[in-house]
Structure 1
Amino acid sequence: MARQFSDYMSVEFDANEEICLKMSVKAEHQPESVLIINTFLNNILELSIQDMMSNER
């Protein structure tokens, strides 16, 4: 997912004892930063739901 958004933002993920997600929108896309981050998170949520539904079948 992060690769699809690499033109707009960088994403770092760490899952040791806690899950940490760091998202940084590139300076030239700051005016749209809320939309970019919301879209990214919605896509992750949709993929998670699809994965859960597939596992229930």
Structure 2
Amino acid sequence: MATLKEIPSFQTLSRRARIIDLHSINKEITSFYSMESIAAIDSFMIDTCKYSTAIRRKAWK
């Protein structure tokens, strides 16, 4: 069994997330159901702006 000795950096997680073939994963998930259409929501966070910009906007409201 593989163990995780430390949490990977954000850059490592982002790089790994970009190489995942989401279309094939969605196809596998939807193959379990007989519905004509299925909507799925991903909980992956997307940064909308740089941290420094967010802090400035928060300070200036």
TM-score higher than 0.5: no
TM-score, normalisation: structure 1: 0.29
Work out which structure has the larger RCO, using CA pairs closer than 8 Å and 6 or more positions apart in sequence.
Answer: 1
- Structure number having the greater helix percentage: 1
Structure with higher strand content: 1
Larger radius of gyration: 2
